[in-house]
């Protein structure tokens, strides 16, 4: 409302005034509902709040109905370890010895396409603040990245900026980046996926929640000043189908300052240590609109805020812009009056700007004042928690039967030893399977000194505290090709792979988070993929005995009418009693016996071989066997803890061949392998059957290890022994370890340097 303040009284007196609700992403019926809630038209400030909080990104209006399955299907085992579940900034689990761990994954896909560096950097900053808000010290980050073809011009624009943003922000924060994944596929051209995970540690009695209890308690905004960057950024960008002109939307992308966030972290931890907050919320998507409405609705029920007191970087900002700004490195705390002075002293010590902007009330209204005028007067729950819930139409994709019928087993395959050797080297040198050191070397993985294992091993392992050997392991996995062929099975395969990776590192899988990346929810075929993936994860977690602690949904990942492959990414957290027992993928000793665990079948649908060699996507993904996954995990965890297993590596993309390549390259030594009898050598090497791993066992421990596998019902084959300078696949081919390393190591540097 240019020229004057659009007050609540003015809104009531001028019902005929038209507001730009469509431009702000609201539908006609949504705007009508807002008018019904208020009994009048909204003010321009109220419209700003409802538009960002009712966006898909913030309200989960298309997904909330289906996400309930995660709570409904929580496994019975979770009751003993789940301290905070879905609905808060991040889930919290009890890992023993008085320690709790909080972890969560979030997406920053659209901003990272618009402005790769800042989009990725602020994605890291946002997920770190989610963890901090729970009362925890962040101890590590991971990321799951997907781009278009590695040689595509737009990938060369986006990937270096994304990687630099992740590294630049995380390194400056002093947080180790200990793992994740990077994948390339045509479907992500113009729609990169940037999913970031953070993990933090606290004592079990130190959990903080996003709530505003106690009338009279003060509302304090602290951290960076509020600017014009990120207005409508994550919320609006993530709720609009992405078009080609998206690169011109740069003003909506947040700008991060990792040094300000580092100081904010230390300031918060000192505040927490003195128990100075009754509730706390970070300012991420939707900024003050989110923080004030969520805190108020989760507490006593009311809040009064004087918007003029908000510290600004840009004094020309309108009140609507202040409410929508997504400027980074900001927090909002609820503090008892008697504790305000000490709170301010700590902020001053850390040179963190802190201002009392309001107080908690018992009015059940969120009231915001601007220049002595009431510009917002709303029931806070209607903004934060009672947005629209859609039951979107669902339809199985019309082309799925034809895709499933186009089985990869009919594709021409190598048969001679030389052809198998060439295929192994071609896959090892493909962008998806190549050495990712060009990317990961830009991340500091050992800062803080708590890293026990990191990429390229199967999982990242971090010690939870200097006072103990207790550790946690984390893995992030997904496969959009599998999910395109069968989203139910594809989601379970992502869950199973992350679960298996954590177990291969020697940790007992405990809980999961997820980042669900899909196209437009207004497309019935996309909604079918989404609902099937949700059902797959919920059923899979129930079978594996691990709860979903929280996560993120990212819709509208498409250009025009072409969506990405459905890409559920699953993060699994495990606990390891002694980090000295963690296991690497590396063949790091000679004469260890190599075992193949699990059952290999001819399963090539969605495989890396079909993708790289034939650009083919068809058939069905590998069969899911969660009982077999659970049994395999028990063997891997028990074998590591007892010292029976010297090295372990899960089998996934690229099958046995790629696992052998990576274990040989990681350890700098070869292996002499005999493929299992009764299998086509090609199938034995390149099938991607799930619930499989290879392990290296000292010769003296083989009898005990075989008893362990037999007792758990896990099929095993003794397939070789480590040592030498080459990978020898008996009767087929031999390739030097140095040749394997060279085939894989320079791929990304040649593309992106």
Contacts of 715 (CB under 8 A, 6+ apart): 597, 598, 599, 709
Choice among 108, 110, 581, 649 that is catalytic:
108
Tokens 């009015």 sit at which residue?
Answer: 363
Q: Are 572 and 502 a contacting pair, CB within 8 Å?
A: yes
Tally of CB atoms within 10 A around 244: 9
Alpha-carbon dihedral angle through residues 601, 513, 126, 268, given to the nearest 10 degrees: -140
| DSSP letters for 602-655 | ---TT-HHHHHHH----S-PPPP-HHHHHHHHHHHHHHHHTT--SEEEE--TTH
Residue 133 · residue 210 · CB < 8 Å? yes
Two tokens, residue 628: 């077999």
CA 648 to chain CA centroid, nearest Å? 24
Q: Specify the 3-state DSSP secondary structure of 689.
A: coil
Beta-sheet strand order (sheet of 279-282):
279-282, 330-335, 218-223, 354-361, 302-306, 366-370, 373-378
Catalytic residue among 57, 110, 581, 616: 57
Looking at residue 86, what DSSP letter applies? Answer: B
Q: Residue 317 has what DSSP assignment?
A: -
Strand partners, 182: 145
Sheet arrangement for strand 137-147:
82-84, 91-96, 99-107, 193-203, 137-147, 177-184
Provide the 8-state DSSP code for 274.
Answer: T
Q: Verify whether residue 108 is a known catalytic residue.
A: yes
Reported as type and span, the H/E element at residue 464 is none
The helix (H) or strand (E) run that includes residue 453 is strand 451-453
Question: 3 Cβ partners below 8 Å, 6+ apart?
Answer: none
Residue 726 structure tokens: 């080459």
Q: Which residues contact 328 (CB under 8 A, 6 or more apart)?
A: 122, 125, 126, 224, 229, 230, 254, 255, 256, 257, 260, 261
- Which burial class, exposed, middle or buried, applies to 318 when counting CB atoms under 10 A from its CB (0-12, 13-18, 19+)? middle
**Residue 616 a catalytic site member:** no
- Residues with a known catalytic role: 57, 108
């Amino acid at each position: 409302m240019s020229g004057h303040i659009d007050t609540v009284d003015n809104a009531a007196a001028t019902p005929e005034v038209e507001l730009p609700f469509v431009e702000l992403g609201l539908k006609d019926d949504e705007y009508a509902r807002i008018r019904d809630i208020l009994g009048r038209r909204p003010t321009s400030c109220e419209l700003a709040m409802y538009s960002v909080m009712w966006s898909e990104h913030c309200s989960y209006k298309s997904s909330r109905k289906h996400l309930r399955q995660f709570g409904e299907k929580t496994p019975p085992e979770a009751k003993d370890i789940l301290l905070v579940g879905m609905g808060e900034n991040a889930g919290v689990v009890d890992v023993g010895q008085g320690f709790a761990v909080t972890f969560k994954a979030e997406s920053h896909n659209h901003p990272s396409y618009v402005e790769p560096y800042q989009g990725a950097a602020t994605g890291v900053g946002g997920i770190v603040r989610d963890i901090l808000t729970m009362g925890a010290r962040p101890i590590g980050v991971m990321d799951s990245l997907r781009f278009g073809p590695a040689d595509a011009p737009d990938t060369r624009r986006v990937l270096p900026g994304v990687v630099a943003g992740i590294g630049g922000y995380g390194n400056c924060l002093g947080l180790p980046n200990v793992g994740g994944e990077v994948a390339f596929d045509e479907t992500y051209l113009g729609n990169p996926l940037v999913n970031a995970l953070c993990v933090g540690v606290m004592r079990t009695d130190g959990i903080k929640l996003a709530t505003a209890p106690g009338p009279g308690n003060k509302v304090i905004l602290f951290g960076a000043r509020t600017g014009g960057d990120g207005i409508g950024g994550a919320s609006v960008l993530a709720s609009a189908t992405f078009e080609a002109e998206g690169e011109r939307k740069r003003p909506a992308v947040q700008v991060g300052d990792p040094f300000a966030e580092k100081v904010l972290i230390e300031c918060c931890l000192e505040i927490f240590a003195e128990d100075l907050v009754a509730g706390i919320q970070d300012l991420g998507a939707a900024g003050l609109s989110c923080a004030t409405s969520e805190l108020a609705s989760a507490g006593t029920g009311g809040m009064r805020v004087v918007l003029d007191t908000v510290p600004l970087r840009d004094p020309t900002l309108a009140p609507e812009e202040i409410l929508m700004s997504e400027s980074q490195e900001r927090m909002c705390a609820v503090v008892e009056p008697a504790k305000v002075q000490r709170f301010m002293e700590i902020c001053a010590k850390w040179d963190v700007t802190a201002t009392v902007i309001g107080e908690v009330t018992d009015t059940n209204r969120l009231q915001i004042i601007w220049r002595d005028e009431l510009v917002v007067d709303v029931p806070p729950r209607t903004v934060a928690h009672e947005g629209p819930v859609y039951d979107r139409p669902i339809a199985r994709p019309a082309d799925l039967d034809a895709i499933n019928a186009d089985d990869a087993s009919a594709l021409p395959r190598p048969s001679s030893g030389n052809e198998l050797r060439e295929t192994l080297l071609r896959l090892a040198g493909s962008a998806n399977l190549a050495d990712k050191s060009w990317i990961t070397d830009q991340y500091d993985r050992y800062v803080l000194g708590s890293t026990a294992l990191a990429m390229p091993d199967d999982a990242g392992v971090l010690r939870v505290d200097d006072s103990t050997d207790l550790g946690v392991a984390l893995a992030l996995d997904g496969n959009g090709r599998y999910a395109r062929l069968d989203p139910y099975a594809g989601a379970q395969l992502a869950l199973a792979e992350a679960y298996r990776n954590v177990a291969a590192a020697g940790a007992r899988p405990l809980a999961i988070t997820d980042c669900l990346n899909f196209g437009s929810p207004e497309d019935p075929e996309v909604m079918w993929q989404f609902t099937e993936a949700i059902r797959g994860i919920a059923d899979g977690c129930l079978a594996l005995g691990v709860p979903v602690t929280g996560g993120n949904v990212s819709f509208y990942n498409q250009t025009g009418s072409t969506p990405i492959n459905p890409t559920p990414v699953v993060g699994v957290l495990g606990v390891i009693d002694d980090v000295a027992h963690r296991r690497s993928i590396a063949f790091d000793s000679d004469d260890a016996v190599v075992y193949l665990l699990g059952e290999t079948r001819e399963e090539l649908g969605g495989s890396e071989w079909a993708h790289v060699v034939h650009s083919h996507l068809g058939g069905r993904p590998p069969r899911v066997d969660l009982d077999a996954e659970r049994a395999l995990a028990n063997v891997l965890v028990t074998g590591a803890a007892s010292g029976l297993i010297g090295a372990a590596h899960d089998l996934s993309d690229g099958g046995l061949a790629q696992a052998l390549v990576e274990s040989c390259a990681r350890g700098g030594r070869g292996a002499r392998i005999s493929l299992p009898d009764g299998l086509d050598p090609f199938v034995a090497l390149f099938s991607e059957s799930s619930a499989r791993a290879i392990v290296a066992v000292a010769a003296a421990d083989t009898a005990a290890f075989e008893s362990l596998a037999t007792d758990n019902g896990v099929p095993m084959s003794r397939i070789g022994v480590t040592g030498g300078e080459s990978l020898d696949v008996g009767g087929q081919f031999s390739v030097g370890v140095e040749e394997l390393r060279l085939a894989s190591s320079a791929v990304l540097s040649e593309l992106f340097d």
